[in-house]
Chain A
Amino acid sequence: MASFEETGPRTPVVEPTRVDKVHPRAKLGKSFRVILTLIVTFIMIIPVLVMIMTAFKSRADIVTPPPKVLFHPTLEGFLYLFTDRSLFSPSNLEAARANPGNLDYWQKLALSVGQKINGPSDYVGRLKNSVIIAGTSTILSVILGLFAAYAFSRFKIAGKDDLLFFILSTRMLPGVVVTIPLFLLYKQLGWNDTHIGMIILYTVFNLSFSVWLLKGFIDEIPIEYEEAALVDGYTRLQAFFKIVLPQAVNGIAATTVFCLIFAWNEYAFALMLTSQKARTAPPSIATMLGSGGLEWSAIAAGSLGFLIPVAIVTFVLRDYLLRGVTFGAVRK
């Protein structure tokens, strides 16, 4: 048989590429690589898939060995997660089953496992806390970060590098180190377990990140635009709002989303500094108890609330991800 070196490929190559890249061996290698990537990716997301499946399994399906891949989907997990329920006594249960009356979907679902819905669970309140705290703190840290980033990007500031390093280093501190004194400080101020306390804490937590990331984005906007505006008689502030902000929109959006995810995911501070009133979702999801141990279907259902936003964000921000996870230190 004639070898590739003698006859070349069967069809003409009409894209820019090296000779060895169209060699059958290289093509075989590529197919192998693609298949391997598919397999590895699948393995990587198995835990995610398991969690998604678990969220739609019934309590019985979850705890029966061996683990089931095929099952009858149900929303039980969401019922356990979002509602506070109590057991019917056997006699009441039969009465209720005999005469269901006008029950909505969730009430029927509860009835089918012998329970009655009393109202929303604590988790609903904690989700609300999470939304308020993560949302407000993100807005604050992006706004403050934007101003600081602009100043650091455009002006001569004495000891600029040291200041920037200081800002970065605050993020490198182990959370527990600052938590002890903050706990005491908050105790003095009466801020433990309050929204305001958590909002300020998360604002600062994200601030160093947003300054660094936004500075990177602003550095990329050519200074000539502003200089032209200044020459045309705009003030610095006008130039900032009318020239820089519109051009930094992508960077601001990316920073916002990163801050939001960080605040939404945060666990350690919330665990140590909140207990009831301002407790957020992450510490409470870990302690979701049912009868006889962890309530897995509820935990899995709650996890979706962390998984779905993250999946969307990862997809939308894939081009900015590298900057995000390295504080803008590595860009491309």
Chain B
Amino acid sequence: MSTIELRQVEKKFGDLHAVKPLDLTIQDGEFIVLLGPSGCGKTTTLRMISGLETVSGGTIWLNGRNVTWLHPSARDIAFVFQFYALYPHLTVWRNIAFPLQAQGESRETVDKRVTEVAQLLRIEHLLGAHPGQLSGGDQQRVALARALVRRPAAFLMDEPLGALDADFRESMRSEIKRLHVLQHATTVYVTHDQIEAMAMGDRIVVMSEAAIQQIGTPSDVYNDPSNLFVARFIGSPGMNLVPGKYADRVVQMAGLDNRYAVPQGWHTALNKGLDGGSDIVVGFRPEAAQINDRGSLVGKVYASEMQGSSAVLHLTINENEIIHIRTDRLIPYPIDTLIHFDINPQMVRFFNPKTEAAIKPEVAQ
């Protein structure tokens, strides 16, 4: 059991920052997800923790021990790779036994531990096969087994489900979560899939452009994104972000005659947050829109999408902006219908377009 701490850790490739100096503390037994689009530095961060990548600055602490310049093998971590990285010429049994045999464990110990972990992952019947003969899901199970068999201080997982088919993904997702609950081992998990992040993480670290954008629980990053990037990136579709001009407790949205009266409790915060400017971005999740004939906002149906349990309407609210709102799947809305709606006052958020940062309300909602 262990904690992981990154202090001002950064990685430069030449003059380019792959990871800007960042601080991160991971608690014992915590499941942390590093989430971000490709090239945001999340994998590099994970690899720095493992020692598969050197840092250009800062220090990494594992369980209070400075491991920054330790060999990967001296860190007592296990790494699960995106493409499993199974040894293709070895059988499943020998793959799982590899870390134990590398340590010169006795034949009995190896036998016992491999059998244990194979039972845990329900892959006993595969032990004699070669990795090439297995499905992607089974290969990933073997890779997990190889990581688990060592009982390492921490697990590092680099998009372990990225190479799997959609249905495999979901079952493996719950399997990894189950293992985490059983083992209660500190885990750092990298993914670009925000649904995966939401489903698995105790906390999510959202990264973009080589820097941390927000650290928080899944509900934090969903409900209270700290900036425009997080708002856009989390959720499918992401948060609606409509630019406008703020004056006199009213946001005048660009284009159509859409005036939005700012709910109570935001006024002083907006005055402060906008720094005297009037440009503002109004943000709300698709499910925050409430269709209502007397709603103060209006949009024209551009397209509608069945999503199974609900439907998503694409509305044009001016020449440039398309917003998404979640509606009842049973009511059809023909194209070009005018829709009136309001925003749930609990679920509206505001951003300063210059700094891109979220504006915090003066009182807790």
A and B touch in the complex (CB under 8 A): yes
Tell me, yes or no, whether A162 is within 8 Å of chain B by CB. Answer: no
With a CB–CB cut-off of 8 A, which chain B residues contact A8? 55, 68-69
Whether the Cβ atoms of A17 and B53 lie closer than 8 Å is yes
With a CB–CB cut-off of 8 A, which chain A residues contact B132? none
Whether the Cβ atoms of A23 and B13 lie closer than 8 Å is no
* B 53-80 binary contact with A (CB < 8 Å = 1; else 0): 1111100000000101111100000000
* A 1-27 binary contact with B (CB < 8 Å = 1; else 0): 000111111001111111111110000
The A-B contact count (CB < 8 A) is 47
Tell me, yes or no, whether B85 is within 8 Å of chain A by CB. Answer: no
Whether the Cβ atoms of B69 and A5 lie closer than 8 Å is yes
State which size class the interface on A falls in. 10 to 19
State which size class the interface on B falls in. 10 to 19
Contact A5/B54 with A14-B13, A16-B13 known, Cβ cut-off 8 Å: no
Contact A19/B66 with A14-B12, A14-B14 known, Cβ cut-off 8 Å: no
* Distance between A27 CB and nearest chain B CB, rounded to angstroms: 13
Whether the Cβ atoms of A20 and B51 lie closer than 8 Å is yes
Tell me, yes or no, whether B52 is within 8 Å of chain A by CB. Answer: yes
A6, A14, A16: the one contacting B69 at CB < 8 Å is A6
* Distance between A39 CB and nearest chain B CB, rounded to angstroms: 29
Whether the Cβ atoms of B56 and A12 lie closer than 8 Å is yes
Whether the Cβ atoms of B72 and A20 lie closer than 8 Å is yes
With a CB–CB cut-off of 8 A, which chain A residues contact B71? 19-20, 23
A9–B69 alpha-carbon span in the complex (Å): 9
A4, A6, A7, A19: the one contacting B51 at CB < 8 Å is A19
A9–B54 alpha-carbon span in the complex (Å): 10
Whether the Cβ atoms of A19 and B70 lie closer than 8 Å is yes
Contact A4/B69 with A17-B54, A18-B51, A18-B54 known, Cβ cut-off 8 Å: yes
With a CB–CB cut-off of 8 A, which chain B residues contact A12? 12, 56-57
A7, A14, A18, A19: the one contacting B56 at CB < 8 Å is A14
A10–B71 alpha-carbon span in the complex (Å): 17
With a CB–CB cut-off of 8 A, which chain B residues contact A15? 13-14
Contact A6/B56 with A14-B13, A18-B72, A20-B71 known, Cβ cut-off 8 Å: no
Whether the Cβ atoms of A13 and B54 lie closer than 8 Å is yes
* Distance between B23 CB and nearest chain A CB, rounded to angstroms: 18
A5–B69 alpha-carbon span in the complex (Å): 5
A18–B72 alpha-carbon span in the complex (Å): 8
Q: Which of B51, B54, B56, B71 has the most CB of A within 10 A?
A: B54
With a CB–CB cut-off of 8 A, which chain A residues contact B14? 14-15
Q: Which of A5, A9, A19, A20 has the most CB of B within 10 A?
A: A19
A255–B49 alpha-carbon span in the complex (Å): 49
User: Which partner residue on chain A sits nearest B60 by CB separation?
Assistant: A19
- Give the contacts of A146-186 with B (CB-CB under 8 A): none
A3–B321 alpha-carbon span in the complex (Å): 59
With a CB–CB cut-off of 8 A, which chain B residues contact A5? 69-70
Q: Which of A4, A5, A9 has the most CB of B within 10 A?
A: A5
With a CB–CB cut-off of 8 A, which chain B residues contact A21? 54
* Distance between A255 CB and nearest chain B CB, rounded to angstroms: 32
With a CB–CB cut-off of 8 A, which chain A residues contact B57? 12
Whether the Cβ atoms of B13 and A19 lie closer than 8 Å is no
* B 243-286 binary contact with A (CB < 8 Å = 1; else 0): 00000000000000000000000000000000000000000000
With a CB–CB cut-off of 8 A, which chain B residues contact A17? 53-54
With a CB–CB cut-off of 8 A, which chain A residues contact B66? 6
With a CB–CB cut-off of 8 A, which chain B residues contact A20? 51, 71-72
Whether the Cβ atoms of A7 and B69 lie closer than 8 Å is yes
* Distance between A18 CB and nearest chain B CB, rounded to angstroms: 5
27 pairs of residues in contact across A and B, judged by CB atoms under 8 Å: A5-B69, A6-B69, A7-B69, A8-B55, A8-B68, A12-B57, A13-B54, A13-B55, A13-B56, A14-B13, A14-B56, A15-B13, A15-B14, A16-B13, A16-B53, A18-B51, A18-B52, A18-B53, A18-B54, A18-B72, A19-B51, A19-B52, A19-B54, A19-B69, A19-B70, A19-B72, A20-B51
B-to-A contact residues, CB < 8 Å: 12-15, 51-57, 66, 68-72
9 smallest CB-CB distances across A and B, nearest first, come from A13-B54, A19-B51, A12-B56, A8-B69, A20-B71, A14-B12, A5-B69, A19-B54, A18-B52
A-to-B contact residues, CB < 8 Å: 4-9, 12-23
Known: A13-B56, A19-B54, A19-B69. 7 other contacts (CB 8 A): A5-B69, A12-B56, A14-B12, A18-B53, A18-B72, A19-B71, A23-B69
